[in-house]
């Protein structure tokens, strides 16, 4: 009898929970659909919509035009071409997979969304994205006074002077990267350039951020391994498979990785704090972490140990730098090499520029830059190649939260209300918008060398890989330095050849295999990376006599 009573109670509780869950689901659906019903009634731009499914029925047909696993933003880039009368901007309802969205593909509208005038916040939707990577509130998802204080503490660590002083450390890691490329060239094997380059940039950002050599290119490092694991397990909004999206193992893996990263960073913080105490007040800043500790301790009296709250805050920022500083930069290096391999005329020009600046042999750049680090600023064509690569292969996009009474306006006079809406600034779409960029899908480094008034001259606010406005990327100087230095050390010594034909032979499949004609299309893996890790071979060029 008691058993029957317990079973009845259990069933009643389960039924109540199910009804409550269904009630919450229906309430949220009605709330979101009501927003879109109002937008539709106002005649605002959006694909065909209905109350039951929103725009979910539109996506399957759109995604069929792209390879499985490609970025959802590429589909929205294509969809934006249907809304030229609104400068490419439109609303999307993909609930329950995402919040209500205003897709922005116009430079002018994007600048408004990121301006100080509207002061639109980073939305809460970013918090779960960065939580497993940073482990807490960080410079990317903070707002208001908290963000301003954190940014001010780290700004000095990313100044031009500090970054230039980092060149010898970057070269030290680049030497290992070059040695590994030489070994691949000697063996003639096919390997993932993206994986190797991610390890390389992780080692670079480790030195810059925490003044520690991670050696992740050649051995196991717990910090680097935990970060890469969290990125590989990461689930993004475009993942529609519920078994992948809600894999019960993910929270356990992310918790373990987060604990590993925090333990490592806490230990490094303690080391750097001891160094600060022993050398204060004339501390020689050796890393971003050193500068943050010095700035923080400048506001209080020294104590035997670092404050636990500061360590937790600092760990989140350092983990963010480790993620953002290596992930997108590595992908850009790979894509730069890929574009140069596909465009021999550009490869010839960049090699000629390096011959002029660094002279000597094909491997002379490292020694020259050690003696004259300022020479890294004498590479206009190299910079143009990088900027054009970033235009075609934007590593990420921007996101802002709407506000009551805030309307964004396009060049045609259309007004877009933002209340209750997340604003998705799709960098790839903006940077390939044919209304602003002649030959938008072509690789033309000359865009960045022409004078204002030339047809190819880039539109204001149209190039946004580091975002635009007061919340632009803190580490953009370091990223550009890393990429320029890496190209300077390898483009004269190696030829890179993708092996996608071999990959397709070994992994036969049907369906679409390119995005905008590119086989090495981007997939979401933290930042956007080349699909399949960019399988390739490298070949050594003969040294100059």
| Distant-in-sequence, close-in-space partners of 183: CB < 8 Å, separation ≥ 6 | none
Rg (CA), the chain: 25
DSSP SS3 for 262? helix
The DSSP 8-state label assigned to residue 54 in this structure reads: B
The distance of Cα 202 from the centroid of its chain, to the nearest Å, equals 14
DSSP SS3 for 235? coil
The answer to whether 341 touches 495, Cβ cutoff 8 Å, is: yes
Whole-number Cα distances in Å, 297 to 151, 308, 315: 16, 13, 16
b/e sequence 523-542, b meaning 16+ C-beta within 10 Å: bbbbbbbbbbbbbbbbeeee
**Packing angle, helices 476-490 and 193-210, rounded to 10:** 130
CA dihedral 179, 181, 184, 185 (to 10 degrees): -100
DSSP SS3 for 536? strand
The answer to whether 317 touches 154, Cβ cutoff 8 Å, is: yes
Lookup: tokens for 510: 């049907």
| Distant-in-sequence, close-in-space partners of 391: CB < 8 Å, separation ≥ 6 | 431, 432, 437, 447, 463, 465
Of the candidates 63, 80, 60, the residue with the CA atom closest to the CA atom of residue 72: 63
CA dihedral 485, 490, 495, 499 (to 10 degrees): -70
Strands 422-425 and 407-409: unpaired
Q: State the Cα–Cα distance between residues 227 and 231, nearest whole angstrom.
A: 6
Q: State the Cα–Cα distance between residues 228 and 526, nearest whole angstrom.
A: 9
Sequence length of the chain is: 545
The answer to whether 106 touches 425, Cβ cutoff 8 Å, is: no
Of the candidates 467, 464, 448, the residue with the CA atom closest to the CA atom of residue 456: 448
DSSP SS3 for 257? helix
The DSSP 8-state label assigned to residue 294 in this structure reads: H
Q: State the Cα–Cα distance between residues 154 and 165, nearest whole angstrom.
A: 16
The answer to whether 392 touches 439, Cβ cutoff 8 Å, is: no
For residue 260, report the phi and psi dihedrals to the nearest 5 degrees.
-65, -45
**Packing angle, helices 288-297 and 249-279, rounded to 10:** 70
Q: State the Cα–Cα distance between residues 403 and 396, nearest whole angstrom.
A: 23
Report whether 235 belongs to an annotated binding site. Answer: no
Known binding-site residues for heme equal 473
Known binding-site residues equal 473
């Amino acid at each position: 009898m008691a058993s029957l009573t317990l079973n009845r109670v259990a069933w009643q509780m389960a039924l109540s929970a199910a009804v409550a869950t269904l009630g919450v689901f229906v309430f949220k659906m009605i709330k979101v659909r009501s927003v879109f019903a109002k937008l539709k009634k106002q005649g605002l731009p959006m694909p065909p919509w209905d109350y039951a499914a929103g725009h979910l029925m539109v996506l399957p047909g759109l995604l069929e035009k792209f390879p499985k696993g490609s970025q959802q933003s590429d589909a929205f880039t294509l969809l934006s071409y249907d809304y030229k009368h609104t400068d490419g901007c439109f609303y999307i309802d993909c609930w329950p997979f995402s919040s209500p969205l205003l897709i922005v593909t116009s430079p002018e509208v994007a600048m408004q969304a990121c301006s100080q005038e509207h002061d639109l916040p980073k939305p809460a939707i970013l918090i779960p994205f960065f939580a497993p990577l940073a482990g807490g509130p960080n410079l990317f998802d903070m707002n208001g006074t908290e963000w301003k204080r954190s940014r001010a503490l780290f700004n000095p660590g990313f100044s031009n002077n500090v970054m230039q002083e980092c060149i010898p450390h970057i070269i030290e890691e680049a030497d290992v990267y070059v040695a590994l490329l030489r070994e691949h060239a000697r063996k003639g094997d096919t390997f993932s350039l993206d994986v190797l380059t991610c390890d390389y940039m992780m080692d670079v950002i480790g030195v810059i951020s925490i003044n520690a050599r991670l050696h992740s290119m050649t051995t196991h490092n717990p910090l680097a391994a935990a970060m890469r694991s969290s990125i590989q397990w990461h689930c993004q909004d475009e993942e529609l498979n519920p078994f992948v999206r809600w894999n019960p193992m993910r929270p356990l893996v992310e918790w373990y990785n987060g604990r590993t990263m925090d333990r490592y960073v806490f230990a490094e913080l303690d080391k750097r704090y001891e160094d600060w105490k022993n050398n204060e007040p004339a501390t020689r800043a050796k890393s971003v972490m050193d500068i943050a500790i010095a700035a923080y301790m400048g506001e209080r009296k020294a104590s035997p140990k670092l404050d636990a709250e500061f360590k937790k805050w600092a760990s989140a920022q350092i983990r963010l730098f480790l993620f953002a500083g290596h992930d997108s930069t590595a992908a850009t290096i790979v894509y730069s090499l890929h574009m140069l391999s596909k465009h021999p005329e550009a490869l010839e020009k960049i090699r000629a520029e390096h011959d002029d600046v660094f002279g000597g042999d094909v491997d002379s750049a490292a020694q020259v830059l050690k003696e004259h680090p300022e020479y890294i600023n004498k590479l206009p064509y190299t910079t143009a190649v990088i900027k054009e690569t970033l235009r075609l292969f934007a590593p990420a996009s921007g996101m802002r939260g709407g506000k009551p009474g805030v309307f964004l306006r396009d060049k045609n006079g259309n007004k877009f209300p933002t209340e209750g809406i997340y604003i998705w600034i799709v960098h790839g779409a903006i940077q390939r918008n044919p209304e602003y960029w002649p030959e938008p899908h072509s690789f033309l480094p000359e865009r960045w060398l022409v004078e204002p008034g030339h047809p190819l001259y880039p539109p204001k606010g149209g190039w946004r890989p580091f975002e635009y406005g007061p919340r632009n990327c803190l580490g953009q100087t370091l990223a550009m330095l890393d990429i320029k230095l890496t190209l300077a050390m390898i483009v004269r010594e190696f030829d890179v050849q993708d092996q996608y034909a071999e990959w397709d032979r070994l992994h036969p499949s049907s369906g679409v295999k390119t995005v905008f004609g590119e086989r090495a299309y981007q997939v979401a893996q933290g930042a956007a990376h080349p699909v399949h890790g960019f399988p390739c071979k490298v070949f050594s060029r003969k040294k100059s006599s």
